[in-house]
Amino acid sequence: MVTIRVPEHVPPEMVKDFSLFTSPGMERMPNGDPHAAVACLHNGPRIFYSPCNTRDGRGTWVITRAQDQRELLQDTLTFSSHRSLFASALGENWPLIPLELDPPAHSVFRSLLNPLLSPKRITELEPAVRDRAIALISKISASSTSCDVLTDFAFPFAVSISLRLLGLSDERLDTFVGWGRDLLHGDGIKQTAAARTILAFIDELAAMRRKEPTDDFMTFVVQAKVDGRALRDEEIHGIGVLLFVAGLDTVATAIGFDLAYLARNPKEQELLRSKPDRIVLAAEELLRAYSTVQMIRVATKDINFEGAPIRKGDFVSCATMIANRDPAEFEHPNTIDLAREDNRHTAFAYGPHRCLGSHLARQEIVIALEEWLSRI
């Protein structure tokens, strides 16, 4: 059992019983909608302390306003990204790169990796991404009258694209999907075992690409240099693991939420089916409405932030699903408007750590919707 403790420096009136993982009142929301549940936070204080807002039960300060989140995420000197989440499960201490690096190291690796996921490179990938979506959807439509969207389509689709970036075929697709599920959703034992398996796989792949280079992401990484030197093993671990993990849950979950919304709203579904040119704009609104990423930062010093006495070492949560329902940012934030323009959502985070793979994620989501609506 995890003992929940509120630090002494947190005023009792600033404590709120809240967790993104087990939100009180969630079961009372329409359709069990977690996004509607967290949107209710905008009726309360702009910042509060939750003693259990992480998967391990550790407390965080929760930032509810989009403007405050942007300010905090820009201040990398005061609020650090370095937590070594993946490595800590193995009893090690190396960061996912560039996600868990702070400037100036973050900028060095971000510049190194940007070309691999640039808009131009992603455009070149489009035929392969579309072919994969078509193959999975065609198999579903030919073999059954129903399916589990996440299991049968979204997860295999997202994982297969990650495999392609790594230069691998889909022969072991089910195995990789299983690793991802155990890592992201399993209990502690399964998570640790999956982390070790994924790391061993990254090491094996890196060794293979050193001997047999090809035109893929991992070959680039093992041949890359920073400051005139080759990358260290821990740096290759950090980059390789992030590539493997980053696209799994976020893209698959986005596709799942999008198709769930369209299933409940057949008129919107028919509109997009008859006017597919509107899907790109609709995908942005669905990203806003159904954001899934929580950015956690660690305070590097004592600071009073908007009245909150944050102390060095405190965790601070900037959850996209809260910011993207902020009425100060979006007119009628809880209304899903697939024609919404000037959509300043933060589904891909904000500031220096804005998602490196956002162009690819957008492409996968749009293609998934286009091909699904044209075939199902």
Task: Give the pLDDT confidence of 110-151 residue by residue, as tens digits.
Answer: 999 999 999 999 999 999 999 999 999 999 999 878 899 998
Q: How much is the pLDDT for 123?
A: 94
299 against 24, higher pLDDT: 299
Distance from C-alpha of 336 to C-alpha of 328, rounded to nearest angstrom:
16
Given a contact cutoff of 8 angstroms between Cβ atoms, the answer to whether 364 and 126 are in contact is: no
Work out the number of other CB atoms within 10 angstroms of the CB of residue 76: 19
Between β-strands 229-230 and 294-299, what pairing exists: parallel, antiparallel or unpaired? unpaired
Per residue in 312-358, pLDDT tens? 999 999 999 999 999 999 999 999 999 999 899 999 999 999 999 99
Q: How much is the pLDDT for 16?
A: 92
Q: How much is the pLDDT for 5?
A: 82
Range of weakest confidence among 81-90, 222-231, 327-336: 81-90
In order of start, what are the domains of the chain with their CATH numbers?
Answer: 12-375 (1.10.630.10)
Distance from C-alpha of 189 to C-alpha of 8, rounded to nearest angstrom:
32
Per residue in 228-240, pLDDT tens? 999 999 999 999 9
Give the DSSP letter string of 88-113: HTTT-----TTTTPPTTHHHHHHHHH
Per residue in 36-67, pLDDT tens? 888 999 999 999 999 988 766 689 999 999 99
- Give the mean model confidence (pLDDT) for residues 212-234: 93
Q: Which of 324, 317, 368, 332 is nearest to 21 (CA)?
A: 317
Q: How much is the pLDDT for 1?
A: 43
Buried b (16+ CB within 10 A) or exposed e, 45-68: bbbbbbbbbbeeeebbbbbbbbeb
Q: How far is CA 282 from CA 145, 272, 277, in A?
A: 26, 8, 10
- What element of type H or E holds 201? helix 188-211
Q: Which residue has the tokens 């075992």?
A: 193
Q: What predicted TM-score, i.e. pTM, was given to this entire model? A: 0.92
How many residues would you count in the chain? 376
185 against 373, higher pLDDT: 373
**For residue 212, is pLDDT > 90?**
yes
